[in-house]
Structure 1
Amino acid sequence: MKSLTLFVLLSVFIYSINGKINSSDNKIFSHVNIYSNLAEIIEPLGKLPLEFSNEEWSYIRPDTLTLIGPNVNVTEQIITEKKTSLNNQKIYIRSPTSTNTNIKYIKGVMIDEDRNLVQFTDNFIGTEPIYLTVSPDQILHILPPPESKYYVNFKFNSKDNVYTSYLRSNLNWKTCYQLNLFEESIDPILIVMANIRNDGKTKLNIKHANLLGGDINLQMPRPYVPRPPVHKYAVVENLQFEAETFNLIRPPPPSIEEGKEFAGLYTFSINQSFAIDGKTDYMLPMFRPSVTIERIKRFSKQSFSGIGKRTDKAERTYRLQSDKFLSRGNCMIRENDQLIGEISLPDLAANNIYDFSIGKDSDIISKENITLISTHTYNETLSNSKVEERTQTIYNINISFKNFKKFRPVNIEYEQVISTRSVKLIKSIGDVKLNVSTIEHKSILSPLEEKFISYTIETVE
């Protein structure tokens, strides 16, 4: 079953591409799965060995380089780092007879690049070749020194199409949201954008991509950043910047299909080819979900603080529900075109209800007074004949809720979590309920209205 599923996946993006992977800026990736922290590159296998530049390799997780296909059997895999040697190349070095005020360079030949051992002739010293070990900053290179390249070779058995697969860290994506709220009679609007990021230096051309959302456990070690060598060059070419030509007629930007669920994850396909320049964020609109928002002023107490008087401000809380899956991402919230806050949305299933708060509302105040009625300690015999000490306490709680807004009614919600062995609601005034171990109250406060609730509870610890 696994092989059949893989075959169906691979058959979607079979292209007639031949030739080995290279580090050209014009490289085209046929299929890319983009995750929140990395990307999987899937390519039809071309000429072996596969070749990667030093920069490309710094973004690749080597242990993920593999061959995939319906019936591929890898019997050997070799990864090799190679670099053209500087040995026997002509260079210039600072003459040993130079001074700080009179610097001279003489021509030499690199004998051992590991030790920077150079052969040269200095007429001030003699006519015979001599040898000197010099520091890297004393060398002038006529040509840019070669960089490492990495080669990956496979031995395998397969009668079907074979693809290379590997993870790289310089391509990722995240979801960006903007929630626009209006009057209660106007439906809210949730704008969803996919922000695809290329952290590399070179342009990436992609034929087909999937954006993967959900709880995905893929890790990428910190990318290796090559230490820049200390080199001097005899000739430095002038840097030239090519101006971008803007055509009057441009092809339409790619679109992102609605998400499809599989294995508890969601995939959003981009079937049109696109390109991302290096160090660039590329943002595309996604689906437009239908959402509902309920505005609430909430007083939420996750622990019982005991006797005393307290004054609290309500939390500005919103209850969100979407008809489509929402992948986690940052959300900017606007109400009547004013930016009022931001949150980080988690992964949300379609039609799931999610509450979030973005600050306090100073116009909605609660005043609470908790008094102790009684307390006593007793012993309880358990079913195993073990005796444990219990403390029973009875509290009376009086709360007032006041809406200081002059023209707007508000929905308020109150919850008090009581984490004890057991809790009982003995009596109450107002709409007060006990839900397992949480005291709950909901009501509407008219402008400038004040309401009171009172309840008595028994706790056992």
Structure 2
Amino acid sequence: MKSIFCLLISAVFLNTGDAFLHFSKNKTQVTNDHRILANVKIYSNLAEIIQPLGKLPLEFSEDDWRDIRSDSLTLVGSNVTVTQQTITEKKQSLNNAHVFVRAPSSSNTESKFVKATLVDEKRNLVKLIDKDISKEPIYFTASSDHIVYESDPPQSKYYVNFTFDTSDAVYVSYLRSNLNWKTRYQLNLFDESKSVVLISMADIRNDGQSRVDIEHAELLGGDINLQIHSNSHWRGYNAVPEMAMARTFADAGSSHAPTISKPEEVAGLYVFAINTPFSIEGRTNYLLPMFRPHVTVERFASVSKHFHNAGASNGKAQRSYRLSADRFLSSGNCVIREYDRLVGETSLPNLAAKDKHEFTVGEDSDVTYKENVTVVSSRTFNDTNRRGSFPVEVRKESVYNVNVAFKNFKKNRPVKVEYKLNNYGQSVKLGTPNTACTQDGLTIKCVLTLAADEEKTVSYKFEHVV
């Protein structure tokens, strides 16, 4: 049993603007039932709960407390000043309770339980009369699995109290780790004449044991650095074993199904509002359809290599995609289908509107390359370096000739190929430009299209200084 303790948090002064509590204009229920959540801001790993302040002190069960960041509990409002806050753990004592305990005279083959009195629950010290040992009461320490209780033993409860000054409405705010969300995508690709379809779903997860009822919610996307649990040494947390996951798909055709609004940008983050009340059962994923963005996807075969030295190499191209959307996409897992077949999956990052994201999903065995790099010339020279510790450094300048043969073994369609040679060193300079190759920093890029069953060779020369 945890001992009773009291944590005093020093004075906190907090003033928040009307925008923070814009939901207060809506009718919200004042309740101490922590399964009824007035306003919830859900992040990728936790949720902020904001509720009208009910009767003090606030009472939390041990199950609820496991999911709460204790250092996040505070009062908010347009004009509220907190002068003192206490968090106290209390548990009804089992001392002097009547229990049944395995008698000391029990054998390995036969267990006998007798009625006893629990004298000290910390040590599992019990008092009983075992006639086989003594007519007088005896005391001994029993193993916890040898004690049987007449009723469910009481659990700890946590009480949070505030003293504060205000002339306006007051709300309590705290973070819970049992609510989170992420985006799930399905990218459907067809032939070039048909539009790309990107289906996005908001996957809201309730990791708690009990159902929660949410009046208003916001899903927040973007790069947000919030920790699930505080570092308070006194706040115990036991991980809950993984259980079978239940999934609920909201019926988009129902007039009562919640809908997610278009995102609004706030301080570099994006907010998706859900203004219809909804409930999520414990250990359940609740999926809601999100917006359908207009998406463009460019498909190509990619070859990306790192230059090491002269020599020959060969390999296969990667099946690659370049995606862009007309609105912000929050990060999430994306399953890719082409022509109604699953072809792979990827993880999309937070992607700004009209920004481009490239990804690959595996090899394309029909598109191969053979690269041959030869040295044309090489020389060393002294380079004056005024910023470094050595005023003169020896550099090596080499000129290389590169020939890359690409082959498309597909019999029925052409393929676009993008080749990159990523260099290291002091500088890189592409030789006589050609229509296929360009230079971007230390990278040389070549782009070409191969017809069905066609082979092409790309040649270029470059100067490399290390």
Alpha carbons of structure 1 residues 111 and 412: separation in structure 2 relative to 1, 3 Å: same
1:141-170 CA distances to partner (integer Å, 9 max, x unpaired)? Answer: 111111111111111111111111111111
Work out the CA distance in 1 between the residues paired with 2:240 and 2:311: 62
Residue of structure 2 in register with 1:246 after alignment: none
* Aligned partner (choices 441, 460, 463) of residue 455 of structure 1: 460
Work out the CA distance in 2 between the residues paired with 1:320 and 1:226: 39
Alpha carbons of structure 1 residues 382 and 18: separation in structure 2 relative to 1, 3 Å: closer
Give TM-score, length-normalised by structure 1: 0.89
* Aligned partner (choices 238, 259, 277) of residue 225 of structure 1: 238
Alpha carbons of structure 1 residues 381 and 316: separation in structure 2 relative to 1, 3 Å: same
Residue of structure 2 in register with 1:260 after alignment: 264
- 1:127 CA drift (Å): 5.3
SS state of the match for residue 17, structure 2?
helix
* Aligned partner (choices 336, 350, 353) of residue 353 of structure 2: 350
Work out the CA distance in 2 between the residues paired with 1:211 and 1:250: 21
Residue of structure 2 in register with 1:419 after alignment: 424
The answer to whether the aligner puts 1:312 opposite 2:324 as a matched pair is no
Moved more, 402-411 or 190-199: 402-411
Q: Which runs of 5+ in 1 are unaligned?
A: 229-248
Residue of structure 1 in register with 2:6 after alignment: none
The answer to whether the aligner puts 1:338 opposite 2:341 as a matched pair is yes
Work out the CA distance in 2 between the residues paired with 1:6 and 1:139: 55
SS state of the match for residue 57, structure 1?
helix
**Same amino acid, percent of matched pairs:** 51
- 1:362 CA drift (Å): 1.4
Residue of structure 1 in register with 2:250 after alignment: none
Equivalent residue letter for 2:350: D
CA contact (8 A) 1:430 1:452 kept: no
Alpha carbons of structure 1 residues 176 and 136: separation in structure 2 relative to 1, 3 Å: same
Residue of structure 2 in register with 1:431 after alignment: 436
Residue of structure 1 in register with 2:7 after alignment: none
Alpha carbons of structure 1 residues 89 and 400: separation in structure 2 relative to 1, 3 Å: same
The answer to whether the aligner puts 1:148 opposite 2:153 as a matched pair is no
SS state of the match for residue 10, structure 1?
helix
- 1:348 CA drift (Å): 0.3
CA contact (8 A) 1:13 1:31 kept: no
The answer to whether the aligner puts 1:108 opposite 2:116 as a matched pair is yes
* Aligned partner (choices 405, 413, 419) of residue 408 of structure 1: 413
- 1:96 CA drift (Å): 3.1
Alpha carbons of structure 1 residues 16 and 449: separation in structure 2 relative to 1, 3 Å: closer
Residue of structure 2 in register with 1:245 after alignment: none
CA contact (8 A) 2:312 2:372 kept: yes
* Aligned partner (choices 180, 184, 189) of residue 181 of structure 1: 189
- 1:427 CA drift (Å): 2.4
Alpha carbons of structure 1 residues 296 and 16: separation in structure 2 relative to 1, 3 Å: closer
* Aligned partner (choices 172, 177, 180) of residue 172 of structure 1: 180
* Aligned partner (choices 291, 294, 299) of residue 295 of structure 1: 299
SS state of the match for residue 12, structure 1?
helix
Residue of structure 2 in register with 1:231 after alignment: none
* Aligned partner (choices 216, 220, 235) of residue 212 of structure 1: 220
CA contact (8 A) 2:97 2:118 kept: yes
CA RMSD of aligned residues (A): 2.4
Moved more, 213-222 or 352-361: 213-222
Equivalent residue letter for 1:224: Y
Moved more, 105-114 or 389-398: 105-114
Which runs of structure 2 are paired with 1:361-440 in the superposition (5 Å)?
Answer: 361-382=364-385, 386-428=391-433, 430-440=435-445
- 1:363 CA drift (Å): 1.3
Equivalent residue letter for 1:69: G
Alpha carbons of structure 1 residues 426 and 103: separation in structure 2 relative to 1, 3 Å: closer
- 1:131 CA drift (Å): 3.3
SS state of the match for residue 11, structure 1?
helix
Equivalent residue letter for 1:8: A
SS state of the match for residue 137, structure 1?
helix
- 1:4 CA drift (Å): 8.4
Q: Which runs of 5+ in 2 are unaligned?
A: 1-13, 231-235, 242-252
Residue of structure 2 in register with 1:275 after alignment: 279
1:10-42 CA distances to partner (integer Å, 9 max, x unpaired)? Answer: 1324545334x345xxx3100111111111111
Residue of structure 2 in register with 1:240 after alignment: none
Equivalent residue letter for 1:284: L
Equivalent residue letter for 1:328: S
Give TM-score, length-normalised by structure 2: 0.88
SS state of the match for residue 140, structure 1?
strand
Work out the CA distance in 1 between the residues paired with 2:367 and 2:132: 91
Residue of structure 2 in register with 1:190 after alignment: 198
Q: Matched residue pairs, number?
A: 435
Residue of structure 1 in register with 2:17 after alignment: 6
Residue of structure 1 in register with 2:448 after alignment: 443
SS state of the match for residue 202, structure 1?
coil
Residue of structure 1 in register with 2:61 after alignment: 53
Alpha carbons of structure 1 residues 164 and 406: separation in structure 2 relative to 1, 3 Å: same
Alpha carbons of structure 1 residues 101 and 446: separation in structure 2 relative to 1, 3 Å: closer
CA contact (8 A) 2:16 2:79 kept: no
- 1:227 CA drift (Å): 9.9
- 1:189 CA drift (Å): 0.3
Work out the CA distance in 2 between the residues paired with 1:287 and 1:32: 20
Alpha carbons of structure 1 residues 79 and 400: separation in structure 2 relative to 1, 3 Å: same
Equivalent residue letter for 1:290: H
* Aligned partner (choices 88, 102, 127) of residue 80 of structure 1: 88
- 1:122 CA drift (Å): 4.1
